[in-house]
Amino acid sequence: MTSAALRTHLLTLANQPANDVKQRDVIRSLVLNHLLLQRQIDRFNRRNAFQRWLVGALAAAALLAAVVDIAISLAREPVYVQAVQVPAMQKAE
C-alpha cells in the first residue's frame, strides 16, 4: 500500500463519529500510523547515510589536500626573509 493510501485510510478512521469507534478501528489506526512513521524514518535514514558518506569524502579530500600542501612546502628550498627594522615613532607633544 502506498503512503497516500495509508494516510487516506487513517483519516477515514480518525473522522468516524466517537460512538462508532470500535477497538479494531483503534488498532488499525495505530498500525497505520506506525507504518507511516516507519516509512518516514526509513527515508530519513537513507538521506542521512548519503550525507554521512558525502561529509566523509569531503573530510578525506581536505586531509589529502593538507598532506599534499605540507609535502610540497617541505620539498621546496626554504625562503629566508630578512628582518626589516622599523624606526621608532616619536611622541607628539
**Residue among 13, 35, 11 at smallest CA distance from 26:** 13
Q: What is the DSSP string of 5-73?
A: HHHHHHHHHHTS-GGG--HHHHHHHHHHHHHHHHHHHHHHHHHHHHHHHHHHHHHHHHHHHHHHHHHHH
Domain ranges of the chain: 3-75
> Percentage of residues in the chain with pLDDT exceeding 90?
34
Any idea which residue has 477497538 for its cell?
A: 23
Q: What is the pTM (predicted TM-score) of this model?
A: 0.51
pLDDT (tens digit per residue) in 48-64: 999 999 999 999 999 99
